[in-house]
Amino acid sequence: MSTTALSAGELARADAPRLLTELPGPKARALVERDARVTSPSLPRAYPLVPARAAGCVVEDVDGNLLLDFNAGIAVTSTGHAHPEVVEAIRRQAGELLHFSASDFYLPVYVELCERLAALFPGPGPARVFLTNSGTEAVEAAVKLARWHTGRQYVIAFFGSFHGRSYGSASLTASKARYRARFGPLLPGVLHAPYADSFRPNLGASDWDFPTASYLEGVLFERLVDPAEVAAIVVEPIQGEGGYVVPPPGWLAALRELCDRHGILLVADEVQSGIGRTGRMWAVEHEGVEPDVVVAGKGIASGMPLGAMLAREEVATWTPGTHGSTYGGNPVACAAALATLRLVEDGLAAGAERTGERLLAGLRELASRREAIRDVRGRGLMVGVELADHDTAAAVEQECFRRGLLVLGAGDAAIRLSPPLVVTDAQVDRALELFAAACADEAAP
């Protein structure tokens, strides 16, 4: 680490990258070489970032370079890196109880977190909560519960969706063929429909009436499956890995109406869009839609491994032993989640809405000057920039990294910006400067 390393407080307040070496630096390159000899080749690394420590929205790599983090560990570090209140909650809990399985015993911190999440459930009536180790496990739990409760076998997801990589959730995922290739047969009884995506006209559109509704009613329900056999429709209120796609107003409400008409459960996958990222605790709240089940993960515990499935009490009808988890709801992760939720409710969600508007406005102004930027979309600090094509998006992502700005690609040709919710105005403005410079070099009209 550099001898000029900043204190944790100084690091958290930094608003500009500080590059001591060309990225990646020598220590980073050495670590990447070591990694390549022992880790699974399945890991989809984006670029050679080797972090040593981080605070707030700033990451210091092993060579002492400071980078501005606008991917938050894939939308995970919601309260920023190493938020003091989260760190203290982790330390306190670790000193009292590291582990006891909540599947077989009763843990105070587990109950406290479940009570808090049940109170935040965006659906009607009381809710029950099941804690997992990750978002994909929460999706798996939702699929199992939906089939158990309804006695039906079919589940519908959407083209462009990403729900995880374990077998059940990978069966729902339909964003890239490589997530499914050579793993078949996957979970049977999973069907897909178009999402409301105006940039993939063969898979979706900006209006509910075309083609999603006609496809569900006129194709799936008419020719493939009786709606009375469909247990659930699983939907991302804003598609994440699929490109940060925001559906048009009324689309989610129409899904809710269709589910009500056919007795189908509506499952909102809020793994990436939840926990304050869009300016509300849950993205579905922007549309006033009440799901039957919500799944959460990523930002729920500021980096500790945790996921959650929340369901209406009358839906959570499964019996003891039908589902469980040895580590899900680990006491330390629960403590981090309780601290995270307090911070999100106490102002971070509202701040995400305000700084998100600043980020969107800056990107839209840039789009007015750059023909290669086809669209800027998002809610709160879940922002997508659609570029001319995949190669351009990939080049911009890499150029941002070289300049000290961490972003990630998404969808077919998009860049996603999802900084920690503690991001400051100065950091937003600096990120806009860096992104504009990256576009000037890599996305010239």
Which residues have a catalytic role annotated?
162, 269, 298
Please tell me whether residue 248 adopts helix, strand or coil conformation.
coil
Instruction: Tell me the C-alpha distance between 413 and 243, whole Å.
Output: 8
Instruction: Tell me the C-alpha distance between 160 and 194, whole Å.
Output: 8
Q: Which residue has the tokens 């029950």?
A: 128
What letters, b where the CB count within 10 A reaches 16 and e where it falls short, cover 415-424? bbbbbbbbbb
Give the contacts of 322 (CB within 8 A, at least 6 positions apart).
144, 148
310 burial type by CB count under 10 A (0-12 exposed, 13-18 middle, 19+ buried): buried
> How far, in Å, are 37, 113, 142, 162, 220 from residue 292 at the CA level?
46, 20, 10, 20, 22
> How far, in Å, are 165, 307, 316 from residue 168 at the CA level?
8, 16, 19
Instruction: Tell me the C-alpha distance between 238 and 241, whole Å.
Output: 10
Q: Which residue has the tokens 């750059």?
A: 370
Q: Which two tokens stand for residue 95?
A: 């000193």
Phi and psi (nearest 5°) for 127?
-130, 155
Asked if the bond preceding 420 is cis, omega within 30° of 0, the reply is no
DSSP 267-321: EEE-TTTTTTTTSSSSGGGGGT---SEEEE-GGGGBTBS-EEEEEETTT----TT
Instruction: Tell me the C-alpha distance between 355 and 403, whole Å.
Output: 22
Instruction: Tell me the C-alpha distance between 64 and 183, whole Å.
Output: 41
Please tell me whether residue 195 adopts helix, strand or coil conformation.
coil
Please tell me whether residue 201 adopts helix, strand or coil conformation.
coil
Please tell me whether residue 405 adopts helix, strand or coil conformation.
strand
